[in-house]
A and B are shown apart, each in its own frame.
Chain A
């Protein structure tokens, strides 16, 4: 059974960097069939796909246009996990952040983490 365990701070100051990690068990971040993604949810924006990383003989990344200039998603093969960095955050980035595996649909999700951007 695949499990995704998220970790990271729940409070980030405006203009700083939001950093979250998603540890994978039951699958590999280097899987040739999965994409490893970050999704957030807020009342104002609903469910918003932020981006993902995936391995198909080499590593690829795809990012949402809305955050493309501020986001980095990185795999860590040594720890079998992947991470999210979102720079220059504002209160509009306040949301519940989820990591998820994509095969067909988003079939396994992390537990979710409320990240609040506030001074």
Chain B
């Protein structure tokens, strides 16, 4: 199975700052990578699919990039509601797998 490794585990930033989250795959997933945001007590919310496509109603400050094994989720300017846990997930192969998550916390 494809292992996804996210870094850093925790990112401490202030509102208005730029966040860059990394996801590395153990083998190529082409562009079949998605990003999710999860807040406490809620289901994950799809932000980005196929590496760089924003899902419906996702603000333009969220940008996904990458191909193959290295991917980045960039939040251009953090809003208060963006402090949450972010997961990457691949759909290149079965089984679908998720990264362990990056927590973006308020500094």
Chain A residues in the interface with B (C-beta under 8 A): 37, 46-49, 62, 64-65, 98, 100, 102, 104-107, 109-112
Q: For A109, what are the chain B residues with a Cβ–Cβ distance below 8 Å? A: 43-45
Closest to A46 in B: B100
Closest to B47 in A: A105
Q: B55 is contacted by which of A62, A102, A107 (Cβ under 8 Å)?
A: A107
C-alpha gap A46/B91 in the complex (Å)? 17
**Which chain B residue shows the least CB distance to A104?**
B49
B48 surroundings in chain A (CB, below 8 A): 105
Contact (Cβ within 8 A) B91 A102: yes
Q: Which residue of A lies closest to B97 (CB)?
A: A49
Instruction: Indicate if the CB atoms of B46 and A105 lie closer than 8 Å.
Output: yes
Main secondary structure of the interface of B (DSSP, over half): loop
Q: Which chain B residues (24-78) contact chain A, with CB distance < 8 Å?
A: 34, 36, 42-46, 48-50, 53, 55-56
How far does the alpha carbon of A47 sit from the alpha carbon of B94 in the complex, in Å?
A: 15
Q: Contacts A106-B46, A111-B43; is A47 near B98 (CB within 8 Å)?
A: yes
Report the minimum CB–CB distance from A57 to chain B (whole Å). Answer: 19
Contact of A49 among B53, B96, B101 (CB under 8 A): B96
* Residue ranges of B at the interface with A (Cβ–Cβ < 8 Å): 1, 34, 36, 42-46, 48-50, 53, 55-56, 87, 89, 91, 94-98, 100-101
On whether the beta carbons of B53 and A46 are closer than 8 Å, the reply is no
CB distance from A98 to the nearest CB of B (A): 6
**Chain A residues near B1 (CB-CB < 8 A):** 65
Q: Is the CB of B34 within 8 A of A49?
A: no
Contact A106 B55 (CB under 8 A): no
- Once bound together, how far apart are the Cα atoms of A107 and B56, in whole Å? 9
Q: Which of these, B36, B42, B94, B101, contacts A106 with CB under 8 Å?
A: B36
**Please, how many angstroms separate the alpha-carbon atoms of A77 and B98 in the complex?**
29
Closest Cβ of chain B: how far from A87's Cβ, in Å?
19
Write the nearest CB–CB distance from A113 to chain B, whole angstroms. 11
From A37, A46, A64, A104, contact of B34 by CB (8 A): A104
